[in-house]
Structure 1
């Protein structure tokens, strides 16, 4: 199977080693370097329908790159669009992951990125894809990226974990989650006022058993403003 390694401390590369006949898929324009035995081509992975859903729901490209070791073994280096860290996750039956907007970087061909309905609260208020979110299923390695440094939290039963909505990269599908405002003990309107005055905005509350990958930067704050 392909070997995934994170290389470098600041804005790292994803280093993938493939043996002849193996292939991976990655976000469009992720390939930085590849050796001669490898070939890259654009793919409407999952067909035009799923590709359109992925584009509209999760801020991913319509076409994805497929890199295959055609004439022999070879290595490639991949990089996310935004500066930041890369995290490797193991997808397996019963261990699927939900992806936030733009977090997908690469995966083994045995992993599928499929649409899934979001919760009502997440659809109206969340920054995780609206009413349709993307879920990684199957078995194999999955590489996700976040703006800034990335860190993986372990969520355990009986201990709710609260994360700012704009800093969530991916999370285990086994977790239940709720989008809302930070709690202050002052009731519904008090929570809203505190959210506005503190600048904290929306948060996601995770419960259960699983992992949450977070990043240190909010990419929406760094998007260039359009001139009026």
Structure 2
């Protein structure tokens, strides 16, 4: 199959064009935008009930996933993530892993690609970055998204610090530690909360916006009913 990432980086969408009947792509529940009528879609708990429940409860992903199978060559499928922003593809070799924050996974291609969860640390849970992260292991291709634009960083030798709410994912070879930003006072008054300190060799993927900051910005503008 062929894929094209369109309308990026603002409103990313994945266009898949199948080369032959029987080709398959698996997507997060609710990601389908449009498709040719000859494409077959089946909904299931990938990996069984226990594996699906683990991804849902610990990794923040949907309990169900949709499997799209081509009925013939030339058929097209369009997928899009929930948040507005960028969309990327990561090609993983056999045994190679990529770590994603909750909600960043969109779809994948490859029968041998494995989705699992990785413990992110207790502090990461309270920071809103997720108690667990999604661990994607190849071979295969995974499609992932960001709220806003995606920014890629090579971790420098001295390390790198990232706000938890702006972290999308990172490659293997990196170690991290979650801590309060600026001590106790910074945790509550700096507006940053918790941050992730990375070390090692690898790439870090950031999103330029975060939903929590948007919600806080909009909160004062909510209509409030006067008490009678």
TM-score range, shorter chain: 0.7 to 0.9
Query: Contact 1:37/1:72 (CA < 8 Å) preserved in 2?
Result: no
Equivalence map 1:47-86=2 (5 Å): 47-86=48-87
Tell me which residue corresponds to 1:187.
none
Root-mean-square deviation over aligned CA pairs: 2.3
Q: Which sits farther off after the overlay, 193-202 or 164-173?
A: 193-202
* Partner SS for 1:115: strand
Tell me which residue corresponds to 2:133.
133
With normalisation by structure 1, the TM-score equals 0.85
Equivalence map 1:166-185=2 (5 Å): 166-183=165-182
* Partner SS for 2:57: helix
Cα distance change, pair 37–72 in 1 and its aligned pair in 2 (3 A): farther
- 1:24-45 CA distances to partner (integer Å, 9 max, x unpaired)? 1111111111123322121211
Tell me which residue corresponds to 1:203.
195
The separation in 1 between residues aligned to 2:74 and 2:22, in whole angstroms, is 8
Query: Contact 2:110/2:139 (CA < 8 Å) preserved in 1?
Result: no
The separation in 2 between residues aligned to 1:94 and 1:109, in whole angstroms, is 13
* Partner SS for 1:136: strand
Query: Contact 1:60/1:102 (CA < 8 Å) preserved in 2?
Result: yes
115, 118, 135: which one aligns with 1:116: 118
- State the shift of 1:94 in Å: 4.6
- State the shift of 1:91 in Å: 1.8
- State the shift of 1:208 in Å: 1.1
Unaligned 5+ residue runs, structure 2? none
- State the shift of 1:202 in Å: 0.7
Q: Which sits farther off after the overlay, 196-205 or 70-79?
A: 70-79
Q: Which sits farther off after the overlay, 91-100 or 42-51?
A: 91-100
Unaligned 5+ residue runs, structure 1? 184-190
Tell me which residue corresponds to 1:152.
152
The separation in 2 between residues aligned to 1:108 and 1:92, in whole angstroms, is 12
The separation in 1 between residues aligned to 2:12 and 2:122, in whole angstroms, is 36
* Partner SS for 2:73: coil
Q: Which sits farther off after the overlay, 35-44 or 142-151?
A: 35-44
Query: Contact 1:4/1:141 (CA < 8 Å) preserved in 2?
Result: no
The separation in 1 between residues aligned to 2:120 and 2:60, in whole angstroms, is 15
The separation in 1 between residues aligned to 2:158 and 2:180, in whole angstroms, is 18
Query: Contact 2:99/2:136 (CA < 8 Å) preserved in 1?
Result: yes
Tell me which residue corresponds to 1:90.
91
